[in-house]
Amino acid sequence: MQEGARARARVRKIEAHCIRRHGGFDWEKLSPKLQDEYDALCVLLDRLRDTGESIPLRDILAGAGAGAEPKGLLLSGSRVW
């Protein structure tokens, strides 16, 4: 738990620094070193959250109701269509 809390705090610090400098968060505006650190921290956080459960997309869409259009899936803060 502490490892995840430290990683999340560092991610927030990197994001806040970028927002202060550029008016918003843009990964591409980070230095290559910070991009690598940010990516590694996000991978760590994803692994810590992973329950190992696998839900087929058809089951997710079936839960949305017949004829429902997918709204996109939210993965690590990015909407995937």
pLDDT in tens, 8-37: 999 999 999 999 999 999 999 999 999 999
Mean pLDDT for the stretch of residues 44-53: 89
Quote the radius of gyration of the chain (alpha carbons, Å). Answer: 16
What is the C-alpha separation between 8 and 3, in angstroms, rounded? 9
Token pair in block for residue 12: 């927030």
Q: What is the pLDDT of residue 74?
A: 59
Evaluate if residue 50 carries a pLDDT over 80: yes
**DSSP designation for 80:** E
Q: How confident is the model at residue 77 (pLDDT cuts 50, 70, 90)?
A: low
Q: What is the pLDDT of residue 69?
A: 60
